[in-house]
Amino acid sequence: MVFSSMTFLWIFLPAVIVLGMIFRKPSVQNIILLMASLIFYAWGEPVYIILLLVSILMNWFLGMYMGKSSSQGARKAVLALSVICNLSLLGYFKYAGLFTHTVERFLPSLGVKTVNISLPIGISFFTFQAMSYCIDLYRGEYEYQKDPLKLALYISFFPQLIAGPIVRYVDIEKALNDRKVTSNGFASGMRRFIYGLSKKVLIANIVADVVDRVVVNPASSMGFVTSWFIAICYTLQIYYDFSGYSDMAIGLGRIFGFEFCENFDLPYLSSSISEFWRRWHISLGTWFREYLYIPLGGNKKGNVRTYINLFVVFAATGLWHGASWRFAFWGIYHGFFAIIERLGFSKFLKKHKIFAHIYTILVFTFGWVVFRADGLRYGLSWIKQMVIPSTGSLRLGVFAGPWHISALVLGLIGCGPLQVFCGYIRDKKKGPKFTGSICETVILGMLLIACIIRLSGNTYNPFIYFRF
């Protein structure tokens, strides 16, 4: 089940909201939300609900044992066991195919055959969330959770179960035990949800249509103009798709009394790749910084070690996104520029703002081409079309109509320029408050109607990050 489906919008979500209004006690609401979360996951993954339950129970037992143990050695052993178990589950279901395929291709004499294992939806997200619980528990940031139902709700809560943001237990521990669902929080959550839904349905889905129909053709047939147009379309698609999901998740959390961390901060306004990664998928970047980069030594063990740590983190970030060497290349590609900036290039970028923005846009746009391409070879061929002017056999007018152009223009305006302009106006002139005003209410109503009309024709796509 996805947020941008009629089943979710007209049946699932209203039912959960109504039940939450009837039963106001947090302990009862926790049970309702837990059952709703398990139904939500089982709707798309009826078999792998068992895997989710195994992950929950495993981490609850390990956390309980760690919390009760007074021996530091025993606690460390339990932590190591929890990391091994969680990574083993993730490794088997997500990376076994990549490992066996690589061995079969480069070491055929071993007789290893490629295995094809169906990837459970959202396994990367709920595994990382479960791991953070045990790691922070070992660090003494909170007491172990005695109630398995509360930990189960933390790991499986449906707003952020499938595609984040990755939430740390310490951030919602209080809300699990005692929270208040207020009218202001409900209204704020609904506003955020509708904005996120609009991003997904009215921009991401529309530009995705032209991208999907073009990339099934050979990259060499695109030509210079078409290759750039499709690259820009996908750059907007992945931003509005993922940030739209995050907006909906944050909004749903507020509706039920939870406050999740922000996951995007206008990343396309960045003036360096390092800044881009502080603004893009913030919860994942925070996770890798807290649980991989800093434990490896961060920047405290000399420059060479720092560069190695950055390389490891970005390679891991790439592989987290997908079990393919193409994703590893994409992560290392970003890591290369992050290291170059740390070597001193960032000083140049700070002095030349316009160049810095152009450089950053080019780097992440070329990166998204590799990310979207069906294989690294296709991605490099696509990039070749972008840098060497040529006339391809594909005619853009056949694929892109007025709706696609309109969505593209709105997407370009809304991924940063509009927010900068509105901020400038607020600084220069104090006008009437927009948030919560009648004007915003009318706009939200129009956006919601437009989304429903689009969805009634089954014109939605699954969220991109569901695959990770």
Q: Judge whether 272 lies within some domain.
A: no
For tokens 């992560």, name the residue: 331
| pLDDT value of residue 427 | 64
Q: Judge whether 75 lies within some domain.
A: yes
| pLDDT value of residue 180 | 84
| pLDDT value of residue 196 | 96
| Full residue range of the structural domain in which residue 157 is found | 37-180
Backbone angles phi, psi at 391, to 5 degrees: -110, 115
Q: Judge whether 167 lies within some domain.
A: yes
Q: Judge whether 430 lies within some domain.
A: no
Q: Judge whether 201 lies within some domain.
A: no
Residue 171's nearest CA partner among 63, 317, 286, 38 is 286
Other beta carbons within 10 Å of 307: 16
Q: What are the beta bridge partners of residue 223?
A: 391
Residue 269 amino acid letter: L
Alpha-carbon distance of 52 to 200, in angstroms, equals: 27
Kindly give, in sequence order, each residue whose CB lies less than 8 Å from that of residue 223, ignoring residues fewer than 6 positions away. 385, 390, 391, 392, 393, 394
Q: Judge whether 110 lies within some domain.
A: yes
What is the domain count for the chain? Answer: 1
Residue 86 contacts residue 55 (beta carbons within 8 Å):
yes
Q: Alpha carbon of 20 to those of 175, 396, 423: distances in Å?
A: 15, 49, 37
Catalytically annotated residue among 101, 281, 321, 334: 321
Q: Is 281 known to be catalytic? A: no
Q: Alpha carbon of 326 to those of 321, 367, 376, 378, 386: distances in Å?
A: 10, 11, 5, 10, 19
Q: Judge whether 96 lies within some domain.
A: yes
- Digit-by-digit pLDDT tens for the chain (468 residues) are 788 888 899 999 999 999 988 988 888 999 999 999 999 999 877 888 999 999 999 999 999 999 988 889 999 999 999 999 999 999 999 999 999 988 988 888 888 888 888 888 889 999 999 999 999 999 999 999 999 999 999 999 999 998 879 999 999 999 998 888 888 999 999 999 999 999 999 999 999 999 999 999 999 899 999 999 999 999 999 999 999 999 999 999 999 999 999 999 999 999 999 999 999 999 999 999 999 999 999 888 888 999 999 999 999 999 999 889 999 999 999 999 999 999 999 999 999 999 999 999 999 999 999 999 999 999 999 999 999 988 888 888 888 889 899 999 999 999 988 888 877 666 666 656 777 778 889 999 999 999 998 888 765 566 776 666
Alpha-carbon distance of 206 to 409, in angstroms, equals: 12
Q: Alpha carbon of 259 to those of 36, 127, 247: distances in Å?
A: 19, 20, 12
| pLDDT value of residue 425 | 62
| pLDDT value of residue 399 | 86
> Token pair of 427, please?
């600084």
| pLDDT value of residue 449 | 93
| pLDDT value of residue 225 | 92
| pLDDT value of residue 341 | 96
* Model pTM score: 0.93
| pLDDT value of residue 168 | 94
Q: Judge whether 419 lies within some domain.
A: no
